[in-house]
Structure 1
Amino acid sequence: MDTFLLTLSKDLNKILKNELCYDFLITIGEEPDIKTFKVHSAILCARCPYFQVALSNNWIKKENDKFTFTKPNIFPKTFNVILIHLYGGIIDLNEQESSDLILLLEASDELCLSELCEHIQDFIITKRLVWLRENFLSLAKIVYQHLTFDRLQKIFTEMIYENPKDLFKLETLSELPEDIILFLISRDDFFIREVQIWEQIIKWGILKYPHLDPDITYWTIKDFETLKNRLRKSIPLIRFYQMSSKEFKEKVVPFKKILPGKL
């Protein structure tokens, strides 16, 4: 069977570029970066699960024979790249800045484009691994927030396993998932003083509750209970016996209300 996929791709992108016979107006982004795209419901319905569900369930209203929809949480530049992919089946990730790749990945996840999500992740891992390592702090929260970013999560977890000691220096420690935190504090092979681990765990717990006063002398019993519940899995993993009496008195005793009764 003869195929003419390249010609088909070019012709469909011409329809997108020239805004021919469109029936769908999609407003993307927020002021001052906002743009309305003139697209085709049939193509989006066929190519994108998100729009297929939206159109079939009447999430999208129709006015004057045109569907209208607003999507403020995607950047116009990012959506334009996705549209070219949806119409023509092409995407050149080499042209994208590394930071734009993450935006593209998040948008692909938002629009349920699983194949594109996998492709972008594979590209980042093979072509931008150095950038990933250099920007671990800023990317960790994003990567672990999305279940579909499984490839990147695997790489990030491997990085954590390789350099667990460095992770306790992170200002963004509170943004990591609890299972990663529990893994770290359960280890005994990277020679961090136990009092430092305790300090970071307390910090991690407090940062999860920004309403807590930084000065614990103003805390209520409820505040201590809040922190205790947050740290119920991590506290049993702390090796209090490895702390000096001075360290225990200065760093642990102020939080004695969150400790098990036997300590």
Structure 2
Amino acid sequence: MTTTVRPGPVSTLQTMNDKLGAVQVSEKSLAGVPQLLVDLQRLSEDQETADIIFLVDREEERIYAHRIILQARCRSFQTTKRDEICRIPGCTVSPTVSGNPTQIRLPHINANVFRQFILYAYTGKIIFQDARVFELMILAQDIGIDELKAACEDYVVSTLSVTNACTYLAAVMEIQEKSSNAKCTSSLLERCTSYIGENATECVKTSSFLNLPKDGIIKLISSDYFCLEEEDVWRCVLSWAKHKAGVMASLLPGRWTEEERTRVCQHLAGVINHVRLLLIDSQVFAEEVEPTGAVPMELSLERYRHAALQTSSKAPFFINSTALGSVQMSSNVPSMCNNNSNSGANGMGITSFGDNDKRLQPRLLQNLFPGSSILKNDKLHLQTTLNAWYGVPKQNWRLVFRASTNGFSASAFHRYCDGVAPAFVIAQSSRGEISGGFTDVPWAKTNRKGGYIHSERSFLFTLYSEQEPPTKYDIIKKPYAICYHPEVGPIFGAGADLQIANACNSSMDSYSNLPHSYDGGNNASSSSLFGDYNFTITEYEVYTLSAPSPPVNKLKTDRL
């Protein structure tokens, strides 16, 4: 568990200045604030002056507070009707004897989380604990301190990593199961799921993955963006089931006791249906999957039926009855043969699988551009298009620059990207188009007139657009492939075919004069990349190789 102590999301000086408007408050005039916070923390622990007692958790642990502080800080104490103390969901307020503190029962709230909340309400200090941050966020929502809720969200996003992503996923799913008012966690649930999917190769090796609940495993492997080969999806699911069943990780199915096999199968029940068994290599299926005894008979039969469809046009298909284990083959097995009107489609009497059958839809096998804020979620598959154009299908790339993080200025681009090659520039416009360029030579100062740099392999591309399919535009005037200009971002071609301007997110100075130095065939125009001659770029990223790749032959202009 990680614990992080942070000040509130907005500094005291900034808050004071905001409230006073044009009247600026100096640091010297706030010299007493540190001692004030110490005194307020001491007040939060003062039982003698407290007029509210929270009875928290099932053990009804007593936590003291002052109504006037909570009224000043918490919306649920500000919006009460006459004779109401507060409006906290799930609370019970006990009748109060005059002169005694009011008792408020919160049996569903963890005592440690509530102490963190009270500390923040009095002082603005936050003590984050990874496993409890979602509970604190729900509490902040229910009691009504919006800046604390926002701080929790920021903490999760900023600390999400391979080691804690599965822990966060399990925590947020548990919160959603327990709380009927957990809508604020939905975006974080998707953020965790996407992060794990994009970094699946590393995340499945962590202990937190092995400790996920069953619904967490199902959530992950149901996604098209769980970036693993289907054989590896099966292997990580089996590792999870063996861990849950208490079976040695290295123990092969043939060495399991019947009791161990039963326990593993119990954990795989309901999970194995989300593994796309039809996509698993036949040898792996026969040697690694079926020996577990976890595959229902109908799924095994469908797997072999699918294999028959794949080979029917090449050679007669025969099923080895031993490969099916305990499944007895006979002419009476309905899943294997079909006498309906579709039986003649392949000449074998075997039913065709539908084109929309999700079990036949491959996942994105790998996150080739990790960390991209553009090529993610439903745009993740476009990564493979870029690699196809580059010529190395499974090439991995490393992020070197992101405008929203490093700055939209031309100087920021050159600070991070000068001297970097090969490089993909991937940009997204305010209208949603995704286009960019590739160069095998770096941007750098040059003595050549105009700052132009020669390239043999540079190209531009349209990747996502309502007007254009994914299209690659090769360099035809090679001496003018890219251009170095210290006051402008990336420039491709003389003309320019693509120029991303300084402060491109707040102006329409970026433009495309395609085709000029790059070949777009008969259909290319200045609107091919971003829908118009001038445009606003809301985000762009630059990637370079994460590891050396073999030589690549020059590719011709392609349309996918």
Range into which the TM-score falls when normalised by the shorter chain: 0.5 to 0.7
Aligned position for 1:139:
168
Give me the whole-angstrom Cα distance separating, in 1, the residues matched to 2:168 and 2:200.
Answer: 17
Quote the residue 1:156 is aligned against: 192
Deviation at 1:161, TM superposition (A): 3.0
Letter in 2 for 1:55: C
Q: 1:49 to 1:197 in 2, by over 3 A?
A: farther
Report what 2:149 is aligned to. Answer: 117
Q: Separation in 1 of the partners of 2:87 and 2:240? A: 47
1:242 maps onto 2:268 in alignment: no
AA paired with 1:28?
V
For residues 28 and 241 of structure 1, the distance between their equivalents in structure 2, rounded to whole angstroms, comes to 51
Whether the 8 Å CA contact 2:56–2:111 is kept in 1: the answer is: yes
- Equivalent residue number for residue 297 of structure 2: 256
- Alignment partner of 1:182 is 2:235: no
The whole-number CA distance in structure 2 between the counterparts of 1:136 and 1:56 is 34
Specify which of 49, 53, 61 is matched with residue 25 of structure 1: 53
Q: 1:69 aligns with which of 92, 104, 108?
A: 104
Between structures 1 and 2, the one with greater helix share: 1
**Contact map agreement 2:172 2:185 (CA 8 A) in 1:** yes
Q: Tell me the distance in 1 between the aligned counterparts of 2:278 and 2:107.
A: 48
> Is 1:197 paired with 2:238?
no
- Does structure 2 retain, via aligned residues, the 8 Å contact 1:74–1:107? no
Contact 2:136–2:152 (CA<8 Å) still a contact in 1?
no
Is there any run of 5+ residues in structure 1 with no aligned partner, and where? Answer: 208-212
Deviation at 1:71, TM superposition (A): 3.3
Note if contact 2:47-2:64 (Cα within 8 Å) is conserved in structure 1: yes
Residues 241/22 of structure 1: CA separation in 2 closer, same or farther (3 Å cut): closer
Check the 8 A contact 2:69/2:122 in 1, yes or no: yes
Q: Counterpart amino acid of 2:168?
A: L
1:181-206 CA deviation, whole Å, 9 max, x = no partner? Answer: 2116x76x633527x617827976xx
For residues 335 and 281 of structure 2, the distance between their equivalents in structure 1, rounded to whole angstroms, comes to 16
Task: Please say if residues 164 and 190 of structure 1, whose CA atoms lie closer than 8 Å, have aligned partners that are also in contact.
Answer: yes
Asked whether the equivalents of residues 130 and 168 of structure 2 are also in contact (C-alpha less than 8 Å), the reply is no
Q: Which amino acid aligns with 2:234?
A: I
Q: Name the structure 1 match of 2:554.
A: none
Aligned-pair CA distance for 1:148: 2.7
CA distance in 1 between counterparts of 2:47 and 2:294 reads 68
Counting only pairs closer than 5 Å after superposition, residues 32-71 of structure 1 correspond to structure 2 as: 35-44=61-70, 47-49=73-75, 55-56=86-87, 59-65=92-98, 66-71=101-106
Q: Secondary structure at the match of 1:134?
A: coil
More strand per residue: 1 or 2?
Answer: 2
For 2:155, the aligned partner's letter is F
Deviation per residue, 1:94-139 (Å, 9 max, x gap)? xx4x6x254254133135245313202313543x45xx43233433
Distance between the aligned counterparts of 1:262 and 1:199, measured in 2?
29
Q: Could you say what secondary structure the match of 1:108 adopts? A: helix
Query: What is the alpha-carbon distance in structure 2 between the residues aligned to residue 203 and residue 77 of structure 1?
Result: 31
Q: CA deviation at 1:83?
A: 1.4
Percentage identity across paired residues of the two chains: 14
C-alpha displacement of 1:160: 1.7
Shift of 1:167: 4.5
The CA deviation at 1:142 is: 0.5
Matching residue of 1:16? 44
Whether 1:107 aligns to 2:132 is no
Q: Aligned partner of 2:122: which letter?
A: Y
- In structure 2, the CA distance between the partners of 1:178 and 1:37, relative to structure 1 (3 Å rule), is same
Deviations 1:32-78 (A, max 9, x none): xx742232345435533566678358831123233212335545444
Larger Rg: 2
So what's the TM-score if we normalise by structure 1?
0.61
What is the CA distance between 1:80 and its match in structure 2?
2.9
Query: What is the CA distance between 1:253 and its match in structure 2?
Result: 7.8
Distance 1:203 1:214 in 2: 14
Give the 3 Å change call, closer, same or farther, for CA 231–39 of structure 1 in structure 2: same
Alignment-derived partner of residue 210 in structure 2? 171
State the alpha-carbon separation in 2 of the partners of residues 199 and 101 from structure 1: 24
TM-score, scaled to structure 2: 0.33
C-alpha contact 1:29 1:74 (8 A) present in aligned 2: yes
Cα deviation, residue 26, structure 1 = 1.1
Kindly tell me: are residues 62 and 111 of structure 1, through their superposed partners in 2, closer, same or farther at Cα, counting changes over 3 Å? farther
* Aligned-CA RMSD value: 4.8
In 1, Cα distance between the equivalents of 2:230 and 2:172? 26
Q: Distance in 2 between matches of 1:163 and 1:76?
A: 34
Q: Is the contact between residue 168 and residue 197 of structure 1 (CA under 8 Å) also seen in structure 2?
A: no
The answer for the alignment partner of 1:210 in structure 2 is none
Higher relative contact order structure (alpha carbons within 8 Å, sequence separation ≥ 6): 1
CA 1:257–1:216 in 2, change beyond 3 Å: closer, same or farther?
farther
Deviation, structure 1 residue 14: 6.2
1:61/1:227 CA distance change after superposition, 3 Å: same
On the 8 A contact 1:198/1:238 being kept in 2, the answer is no
Alpha-carbon distance, 1:164 to partner: 2.0
- Where 2:116 maps in the other structure, the secondary structure is helix
Distance of 1:162 and 1:119 partners within structure 2:
25
Q: How far apart in 2 are the matches of 1:24 and 1:111? A: 18
| Contact 1:26–1:36 under 8 Å retained in 2 | yes
The residue identity in structure 1 corresponding to 2:97 is N
